[in-house]
Structure 1
Amino acid sequence: MSKPRIAILGTVGVPGGYGGFETLAQNLVEYHDATAHRSDLAIYCSAKAFPNKPETYRTARLRYIGLDANGPQSICYDALSLFDAVRRGDNQLLLLGVSGALALPLVRLFSRARIVTNIDGIEWKREKWTGLAKAILRASEWAAVRFSHVVIADNQAIADYVSETYRARCEVIPYGGNHALDAEPDPVAVVNLPSRYALALCRIEPENNVALILEAFSGLDTPLVFVGNWDRSSYGRALKARYKDHPTITTLDPIYEPRGLRAIRDGASIYVHGHSAGGTNPSLVEMMHFGIPVLAHGCSFNRHTTEGKARYFMNSAELAAAVRTLSPQIATRIGTDMGEIARRRYTWDQIGRAYFELLSNGRGN
């Protein structure tokens, strides 16, 4: 059997910065290296994000496309990556996200490469997309399911959606989160914060129910530390201004530095997760490894991720009630459950093994 030639496409590149797919790509490279996997591995990177353009990262060869990996250029970025991988003779293509999926019919026409696509969440349903962008994303999702040899869902609820909508099956492979424990905490990051607090951490977007969380905690004595990109949108700036003088609410700008992020997470006694779209959210599985109680929006994605063992809310009143009634005994039980689930399902060793088994054995053709 010939050695698999694997290309990972659809990310900014490695080493990974902020972003779920970048973290996934980096951890797949690290698994490939640590296990001395019998395959050639290439990662496509945005030349705009890596001006020095190193040729390799650990055991992976790096290839560069001169476009942004995100935003309006992402469709062309992914399509050019796909065509280049085919031209170079790669026979296992792992496409992360559906941005380039409209190119897949052409790839299938001229190549025998096996295409494995992680479709991420149900992107076209996100509130931030309207009109033409929503239509393109929906068409891209269809193309990804129709023209990929294997479709990966990161959450059983996504797999159920694909089955109901397209009569197709998915391989379910979630994300790992144990890397969140790797960095040593930086005590400077928490010097001005309460000794214990509830933590929320996300992109500041309506679908993450930021306003709902802030409203709930505005009437509670429990301190809330909320980390996010507040200044990126008028929505975020308005919320930040509204609560900037609240005595128990602290809004922090994004924290990407691993040591600072570890310290912020270590100081939390509750994690509040407002995401209501997508699938298995990386920030949720990362926080589950800290073994603290999770209060999550009650959408099907979060319930699957936490196996129904977190506490759930659908509005601000339910969230406030969940905080008020969280006794020490219940908090300990939920935290213990979250840690057990995280260690059982969301470690990178398991995720890496699942991906490389899928990319090496030809299942799904």
Structure 2
Amino acid sequence: MKIALLGTVGVPGSYGGFETLAENLVRYHARTGHGATLTVWCSGKDNAEHPDDFESANLRYVNLRANGAQSIPYDAVSLWQAVRSGHERILLLGVSGALALPLIRLLSRARIVTNIDGIEWKRQKWKGLARLVLRASEWAAVRFSHEVIADNQAIADHVRDNYGSDCHVIAYGGNHALDHADQARAPTGLPKHYALALCRIEPENNVHVILEAIDGLGTPLVFVGNWDNSAYGRDLKALYGNRPNLHLLDPVYEPGMLHALRARASVYLHGHSAGGTNPSLVEMMHFGVPVLAHGCAFNRHSTEGKARYFETPAELAVQLRGLDPDEAARIGADMREIAQRRYTWDHIGKAYFELLDRV
């Protein structure tokens, strides 16, 4: 059997959640000696080097970018190449190329499994035509895939309610975040203990809510994000960047430094309100740190209702003031237990390959 993995920048992962998923599926395939031949389609534009293989996977390249407007032709070309080269199973990550699925189904007997990601068209950053295309792509992915994966029960509920279809709920692993402890080194100039937030600086991640709440409390906060990539981020950095208790750091990708930042945190603040199961949340849960999360359905499902939740600056401030050491320890222990039970790559890899084997 030949399996094609499509829809990412490529492996090894260096961009986002889907790339981390793809890399860890390849590693699971290699570690378990799965009998299928695995090929990962990669962006020729986004990767400076073009090796022929990674671990147990063959690599093929499409000379387009995997994100932004080019993601649609990138995924469509990848799909066409996968069926032309005789792949019997196709795992498509994301819905960018899903409008090509009706034609692919006509031309090929390949079985298609699609992870539809978050409810992308509902994100605040998409307007007008872009939102319409994303909504149509979600419909096509659900209608023309043989099986659909949702990374969160709230997304599966959305698919059932809107399309009358059932999903396989498979989340993400996060235990790789515990690696590189021997290389852990935190940036200089940070307090010994602090609240930690880490995300893309976007309104739907409620960065302004977290900063307003912490600014009023005077609690030390380390907030890691791409502050300079949008007017929203630049405005917040200008407003809060000089506060002595607020440490607004640029993105950190070095694994040892990320480990050190997470391991030293006394509480994790998770403002994401869209997108399903968020990789940064399940990664942090493995550290056994208490989580205060936005109270959306996605986060409640991910944490099994055992974190603390907020929606406004006042609510977050109340939660932080009321978090005594005993309760903080209990919440942290619950987060670790959930992560070890649900969010390991052995668990996630097994679920994906069992689905691909039987679809």
Partner of 1:54: 51
Instruction: Identify the match of residue 210 of structure 2 among 201, 208, 213.
Output: 213
Say whether 1:281 aligns with 2:278: yes
Say whether 1:145 aligns with 2:139: no
Measured after TM superposition, the shift of residue 188 of structure 1 is 4.3
Secondary structure of residue in 1 paired with 2:217: coil
Please, what TM-score do these two structures have when normalized by structure 2?
0.99
- CA–CA distance in structure 2, aligned partners of residues 18 and 215 of structure 1: 29
- CA–CA distance in structure 2, aligned partners of residues 140 and 350 of structure 1: 29
Instruction: Identify the match of residue 26 of structure 1 among 15, 23, 27.
Output: 23
Say whether 1:315 aligns with 2:309: no
Q: Does the 8 Å contact 1:185/1:261 carry over to 2?
A: no
Say whether 1:358 aligns with 2:355: yes
Any unmatched runs of 5+ in structure 1?
A: none
Say whether 1:118 aligns with 2:115: yes
Partner of 2:334: 337
Partner of 1:45: 42
Instruction: Identify the match of residue 12 of structure 1 among 9, 13, 16.
Output: 9
Q: Does the 8 Å contact 2:95/2:114 carry over to 1?
A: yes
- CA–CA distance in structure 2, aligned partners of residues 187 and 122 of structure 1: 35
Partner of 1:259: 256
Q: Which amino acid aligns with 1:329?
A: D
Any unmatched runs of 5+ in structure 2?
A: none
Q: Does the 8 Å contact 1:55/1:63 carry over to 2?
A: yes
Partner of 1:230: 227
Partner of 1:294: 291
Partner of 1:98: 95
Measured after TM superposition, the shift of residue 314 of structure 1 is 1.1
Secondary structure of residue in 1 paired with 2:181: coil
Partner of 1:70: 67
Q: Deviations over 1:27-79 (max 9, x none)?
A: 00000000010100000000112232100001000000000000110000000
Secondary structure of residue in 1 paired with 2:91: strand
Partner of 1:193: 190
Secondary structure of residue in 2 paired with 1:250: strand
Moved more, 185-194 or 275-284: 185-194
Q: Deviations over 1:111-159 (max 9, x none)?
A: 0000000000000000000000000000000000000000000000000
Q: Which amino acid aligns with 2:327?
A: I
Q: Deviations over 1:213-255 (max 9, x none)?
A: 0000001132011000000011101101111111211100000
Q: Which amino acid aligns with 1:118?
A: N
Question: For the structure 1 residues 307 and 196, does the alpha-carbon distance in structure 2 shift closer, same or farther, using more than 3 Å as the test?
Answer: same
Size of the aligned set, in residue pairs, is 359
Measured after TM superposition, the shift of residue 187 of structure 1 is 5.3
Cα RMSD over matched residues?
Answer: 0.8
Measured after TM superposition, the shift of residue 189 of structure 1 is 2.7
Measured after TM superposition, the shift of residue 361 of structure 1 is 1.5
- CA–CA distance in structure 2, aligned partners of residues 153 and 278 of structure 1: 11
Measured after TM superposition, the shift of residue 183 of structure 1 is 1.1
- CA–CA distance in structure 2, aligned partners of residues 164 and 185 of structure 1: 47
Q: Which amino acid aligns with 1:210?
A: V
Point out 4+ residue stretches in structure 1 off by more than 6 angstroms: none
Measured after TM superposition, the shift of residue 87 of structure 1 is 0.2
Please, what TM-score do these two structures have when normalized by structure 1?
0.97
Q: Deviations over 1:294-345 (max 9, x none)?
A: 0000000000000000000011100011000000010000000000000000
Say whether 1:272 aligns with 2:269: yes
Q: Does the 8 Å contact 1:185/1:263 carry over to 2?
A: no
- CA–CA distance in structure 1, aligned partners of residues 182 and 67 of structure 2: 30
Measured after TM superposition, the shift of residue 194 of structure 1 is 0.5
